[in-house]
Amino acid sequence: MIALQEIQDAQKRVAKVISHTPFAYAPILSKKSKKEVYLKKENLQVTGAFKLRGAFNKIAKLHKECSGVVAASAGNHAQGVAFSANYYNIDATIVMPENTPLTKVNGVKAYGAQVILQGANYDEAYAYAVEYAKKHNLAFVHPFADRDVMAGQGTIALEILEEIDEIDAVVVPVGGGGLIAGMASAIKQLKPSIKVIGVTAAGAPAMRESFRLGRAVDSTEVRTIADGIAVRDTSPVTLEIILETVDDIVEVDDEEIADAILFLLENQKLVVEGAGAVGVAALLYDKLDVAPQSRVAVVLSGGNIDVTMLSVIIEKGLIKSYRKMKLIVTLVDKPGSLMKLTQVLAAVGANIVQIGYDRTSASLAYGDANVSIGLETKGKEHQEEIRKLLHKHGFRFHEER
């Protein structure tokens, strides 16, 4: 594991730039999960994610010996490296997957780094970055398989234990494993009774499978909205520490992650990206082997979510929670038909937020028209009332999901 002294030294280095992020009780989540839940809000970190800690610790130790650094990242490590290189006035080149959200690309460029978009996923970007660093004789800053980086991430655990040492479990997102390796190293040396639980995305299962089997195994592909933990291959470096210090690793799927993002937005007033929300998803869907009323700390590792993805999550969440309804209604294409439909909807208290009219679709019979309608609704019973009333008035319709 990472020595406690290394993590404590890292804490002194990073103190000059990081935010000591809030660690706060979450009453609504506690009630819902039947646990006493505290959130470590690294989504409010200076660069929007915990990665600044490890990147800065690493670059603080090597900046005098190199002219520039190279990193591969889906976004958060990239911003941490770019910020740190800018702080020490050295060049930074960041290789990012081609599908990286624009907000993360722009975030890196804002710190003065050069961005190269290369590869379909993190692992392909990583392979390119390693070769690029060798070719240009630059220092490569690994996002997780590096002791200095892991030590920097471990400073989160020190902050949590400074606030509250009587805790039963700490829940940590897992991608490459650097965050949980650093945090678990600190926790097991300071308070070994605390259970450390990792959470992976179902679409990026390599580390969970490796933990289960006790050896490094890789995935053939990764696909998840939690792009910050979408790592295809397992690092033997982080796995060795994880096997020594971590008690369990569970997984959540994209639907559960999306629900957690929306839950945090609505109930905690926090914008959290997919990777940052997996711990909350594990709580909401009862994935953790932790007794009721246990005191649990959950790391919200980042908040750099693409606004387009956020809008999709919100829209789908409204539909799943019966607060929005989408209908395609087939009308006779004559004056008054649409007015009759809107009057029926008004009578049942459904608010129209979107409407479209199509009379040219090849699937329509001559003389018919399709009306697509988005409705604000007040729950499952209200939607059932709308359906009954439409049927009663003879409207032909189907729902969009």
- CB atoms closer than 10 angstroms to residue 68: 17
Buried b (16+ CB within 10 A) or exposed e, 240-256: ebbeebbebbbbbebeb
Catalytic site residues?
A: 51, 301
Residue 377 tokens read as 């609704």
Are 301 and 42 a contacting pair, CB within 8 Å? Answer: yes
The percent of the chain in helix, strand and coil, each rounded to the nearest 5, is 45, 20, 35
Are 283 and 256 a contacting pair, CB within 8 Å? Answer: no
The residue written with tokens 């997102």 in the block is 173
- What are the DSSP E strand ranges found in 73-135? 91-96, 114-117
| Type of residue numbered 107 | G
Are 199 and 173 a contacting pair, CB within 8 Å? Answer: yes
DSSP H helical ranges for 299-393:
307-320, 337-347, 380-392
Under the phi-then-psi rule, with left for phi > 0, alpha for psi from -120 to 50, and beta for the rest, what region is 177? Answer: left
CA pseudo-torsion sign 226, 113, 61, 303: negative
Are 273 and 228 a contacting pair, CB within 8 Å? Answer: yes
Radius of gyration in angstroms for the set of CA atoms belonging to the chain, rounded to a whole number? 25
- 68 half-sphere exposure, CB direction, 13 A CA radius: 16
Please give, one letter per residue, the 3-state secondary structure of 55-85: HHHHHHHHHHHCCEEEEECCCHHHHHHHHHH
